[in-house]
Chain A
Amino acid sequence: MNDEERALDAALGRALRAPVPPADFRGRLHSAIARQGLDERGRAAHLARARRERGEQLQTLQADFVRLRRRTLGTLIGGAFAAGAAVAVALPLLQARFGADAMLVLTGLGALVGLIIGTASWISRVRIPNPLERL
């Protein structure tokens, strides 16, 4: 380094003084960190609550599903027993009345009952107002 460069170095040292952060810099930094911490905690609590609610909803859905399966199974078994019993009771009577056509009449009756149950079920499913309820 020659004299000129040394002089420039010294002058630059005087001209470019290191800036210092303002006195309240650390305080503001800690406030910002505290705010962030609160935000994080708030977010974490919100997430935990959402997870808990979702878990509860899943449990309810699962319980409903099991209940529905049991009810469906019960309805099927009950229906099969009822149909068997009805046939056992009605067949001798129909044979006495219609003779060889008794099976045909029984099948027709079965189809009619099935149609009525099916229609009623669709009416309740699509929520079409039942005209009989108004009476």
Chain B
Amino acid sequence: MQSASSDAAAQDRAIVTLLQDDRLDDAFERLLERYQNKVYRLCCSILRDTTAAEDAAQESLVRVWKALSGYDQRASLSTWIYTITRNRCLSALERRRELASLSDATIEAQVHSLAAPEREPDDRLEMLRELVDALPERYRRIVTLFYYEDRSVSEVASMLGMPEGTVKTTLFRARAALLEQLRRRGLADAGLWLENAR
């Protein structure tokens, strides 16, 4: 884990070095290699809609590109990129809320259908996804990003601009809430039930 974080830091330093050498295009290409998927996943986790996430990720990265020459290293590169992305997603959510207020029923149905992940044959995983989806927004966002980012608490904290302690506490509470939900659905031995989920 330590080597992964030091490797990430080295990659960020390499990007900053390219920027300092005025090699903007090279720096942006490196940045895309490192952050493109992360930005997309962050958008997916916030927006719960792959089409909107694609648009938001693209707009975020265009903004990053436009502002890249002015990056002043006051914040770390990842924090800077994630802040731009989060702001973009929040604007998209705001727009969606405005649309929803215009036609609640239609848009809600549309968003719900888009937000539903691809159906898998296994009902158990599907049910688990539905339970995650039904979690309070703060919990849901952290849980999904945690698993998207290979269980890296520090990465989730950086992406959402939160302290690591808050992420850990929220994860703990979210897991407890999920187990509670499973038990409420009559799965006395949730562990055994989950073990069989393939």
Interface residues of A (CB under 8 A from B): 2-22, 25-26, 28-29, 32-33, 36
- Across the interface, which residues of A come within 8 angstroms of B198, CB to CB? 14
Interface window among B59-67, B74-82, B159-167: B59-67
Pair A9/B175 contact, Cβ less than 8 Å: yes
Pair B191/A29 contact, Cβ less than 8 Å: no
- Across the interface, which residues of B come within 8 angstroms of A16, CB to CB? 129, 132, 143-144, 147-148
Q: A14-B197, A15-B132, A21-B37 are in contact. Are A8 and B190 (CB under 8 A)?
A: yes
- Across the interface, which residues of A come within 8 angstroms of B139, CB to CB? none
- Across the interface, which residues of A come within 8 angstroms of B190, CB to CB? 4, 7-8
Q: A4-B190, A19-B44, A36-B66 are in contact. Are A29 and B61 (CB under 8 A)?
A: yes
- Across the interface, which residues of A come within 8 angstroms of B37, CB to CB? 18, 20-21
**Separation of A22 and B40 alpha carbons in the complex (Å):** 10
Kindly state whether residue B111 has any CB partner on chain A within 8 Å. Answer: no
Among A11, A26, A36, residue most surrounded by chain B Cβ atoms (within 10 Å): A11
- B42 CB to closest chain A CB (Å) equals 11
- Across the interface, which residues of B come within 8 angstroms of A21, CB to CB? 36-37, 40, 54, 57
